[in-house]
Amino acid sequence: MLRKRSSLPAQPDFIASHVTRRLIKDYPDYSIVALDKLDYCSNLKNLAACRGSPNFKFVKGDIACADLVNHLLIAEDIDTIMHFAAQTHVDNSFGNSFEFTTNNIYGTHVLLEACKVTKKIKRFIHVSTDEVYGETDMETDIGNPEASQLLPTNPYSATKAGSYGLPIITTRGNNVYGPNQYPEKLIPKFILLALKGEQLPIHGDGSNVRSFLYCEDVAEAFDVILHKGAIGHVYNIGTKKERRVLDVAEDICNLYGLDPEKSISYVQDRPFNDHRYFLDDQKLKMLGWQESTPWEAGLKMTMEWYTKNPDWWDDISAALHPHPRLSMISHSNDDSWMSQKGLVSDAKEAGKSDGSSGLKFLIYGKTGWIGGLLGKLCKDGGIPFEYGQGRLEDRMSILRDIEKVETIRTNVGGTLTLADVCKEHDLLMMNFATGCIFEYDQDHQEGSGIGFKEEDKPNFTGSFYSKTKAMVEELLREYENVCTLRVRMPISSDLSNPRNFITKITRYSKVVNIPNSMTVLDELLPISIEMAKRNCRGIWNFTNPGVVSHNEILEMYRDYIDPEFKWMNFDLEEQAKVIVAPRSNNELDATKLKNEFPEMLSIKESILEHVFKPNRKT
């Protein structure tokens, strides 16, 4: 490399600041641009040593701003990105997973799209985490290699498990510690609490095992990966030296001369706290990297730095809490953020189903098809309702909408921000999602009658739409107040509506002929309101039982609506040539919904009763 220009988002943060200082010092010919929005855990003092360097520039800004990112890549002639920007604290991810999605997924997507648009990036290093592998067996001495299946178990790690088709190198690292780390993390939190003479809070019994790497060793690892790593590869940054959380607390007590039995307290565990993350780091070692800082030496250097710099940050009292949570943060009003429609009802009163529970609905998505139909159902049924005026990505505007309604038993369309707000206000959210996240496979073959169940993991990745829907569904599993309804190919009696699946296929010159599960809205939307009253939760396949093919629907259309109607069929090979994004074809098992509502009609019966018989013209 003759001259490299590196953009490193999140520089004032912990790890990235150590990498930045190393690159500025060791590679004076590189021009380094640091982009960071200066979130609560960032501190420009971490880069004080860099600010006078002629090869360094800091820009305050958000990686979620596409215009800014595109401008910087072109104006600064960037050819390499090291992407450290992320929300990383797992405790916070349980309390506000939307913030993690915005930063770790949406922000990353903006960066990747900018790389595609500018076509200037030769190397994109994406910094991920060991937690995407899920929990490691406590008995094994074999670490997770880079090719291991990804099994994230918390919202933070789930948001770090994505991928993209660009010149990317991905790193997955163990826990990092050292100077400059914001004290929401274990080691600096324990050190500062010990300095204050307060107790060190341990989640659960402290038996959880973690591997810790000193920050300078990690900075060296990124140096090696930047210069020797292969495009398209994943590199684990790990250590074989493991310690229980209780061991860490005891070591810090010993450094300060404290009695561990008197200085350590035990608090409620996280909702899910993996017992162990263990990495196989041989691949990185083959590039020439080696861990060089012993645990005892690294911990002592870290302790000395915090002892000398106890006021590095302003008020950190919230971070020192045993279970810190992000305070309510105002998010960017970015039009490109995806939203999902949904329903919400008050969890305390939702068990009432006799129609006298005083429901009052707040509906988002007035101009959307399903949102409009829900409003009409409420109006026709004499149920009080309002349409929300706020933007779903704007947390405060949702709160204003909720506060306008005196009795909060609401059906609301929303996303993860909505799920967070509803959880805080003890509301049940019924989320209208999609069943287009599956495709027929060996265990669920077309025509077999074996459908995908609610607990099955999505297997269709043919479109970005389906990937994002599956990702959001997985994140919403963390919310006990959410009921997700998987809608498929929605059908209604309004044959003039262009979103109606029947209307769509009658306007095509050619159609495929594949059996699929579908949702008849005239029958199932009233059921969704009843589900809100019954306080239903979890994931539900929200389709009529059975499958129906395109030809079967068009035959009914011909018989009931237009006897002169004719159509032709694509085969799948022909369809692939004219449709860029693959389509999801599947059967969803509606047994769970049928058991709850035994009067529900099969898909063919429902289409006849609710669509074609009321519209009959022949």
Catalytic residue among 36, 99, 131, 251, which?
Answer: 131
Task: Answer yes or no: are the C-beta atoms of 394 and 421 closer than 8 Å.
Answer: no
Query: For this structure, is 131 an active site residue?
Result: yes
Task: Answer yes or no: are the C-beta atoms of 454 and 539 closer than 8 Å.
Answer: yes
Catalytic residue among 13, 62, 99, 130, which?
Answer: 130
Alpha-helical segments (H) within 256-364:
260-263, 282-285, 295-308
Q: For the CA atoms of the chain, what is the radius of gyration?
A: 27
- Rounding to the nearest 10 degrees, give the CA dihedral for residues 468, 470, 475, 476: 110
Helix or strand holding residue 12 (H, E): none
Helix or strand holding residue 361 (H, E): strand 361-363
For the purposes of burial, counting CB atoms within 10 Å of the CB of 301, is it exposed (0-12), middle (13-18) or buried (19 or more)? Answer: middle
608: left (phi over 0), alpha (psi -120 to 50) or beta: alpha
**Chain center to CA of 132:** 12
DSSP string, 41-101: T--GGGGTTTTT-TTEEEEE--TT-HHHHHHHHHHTT--EEEE------HHHHHH-HHHHH
In a 3-state reduction of DSSP, which class is residue 175? strand
CA-angle at 128, arms to 248 and 66, nearest 5°: 135
Tell me the C-alpha distance between 532 and 526, whole Å.
Answer: 10
Structure tokens at 273: 């706290």
Tell me the C-alpha distance between 161 and 471, whole Å.
Answer: 10
Tell me the C-alpha distance between 285 and 280, whole Å.
Answer: 10
Tell me the C-alpha distance between 95 and 18, whole Å.
Answer: 29
Query: Residues of 468-495 as b/e, b for ≥16 C-beta within 10 angstroms?
Result: bbbbbbbbbebbebbbbbbbbbbbbbbb
By C-alpha distance, which of 63, 78, 59, 197 is closest to 127? 63
Task: Say which DSSP state 123 is in.
Answer: E
By C-alpha distance, which of 204, 183, 313 is closest to 191? 183
Tell me the C-alpha distance between 204 and 245, whole Å.
Answer: 10
Backbone angles phi, psi at 173, to 5 degrees: -115, 155
Tell me the C-alpha distance between 532 and 64, whole Å.
Answer: 35
Structure tokens at 176: 């990092």
Task: Say which DSSP state 540 is in.
Answer: E
Tell me the C-alpha distance between 164 and 295, whole Å.
Answer: 36
Task: Answer yes or no: are the C-beta atoms of 542 and 528 closer than 8 Å.
Answer: yes
The partner residues of 409 in beta bridges, in order of sequence, read 360
Catalytic residue among 106, 156, 235, 277, which?
Answer: 156
Tell me the C-alpha distance between 515 and 603, whole Å.
Answer: 11
Query: For this structure, is 156 an active site residue?
Result: yes
Q: Which residues are catalytic?
A: 130-131, 156
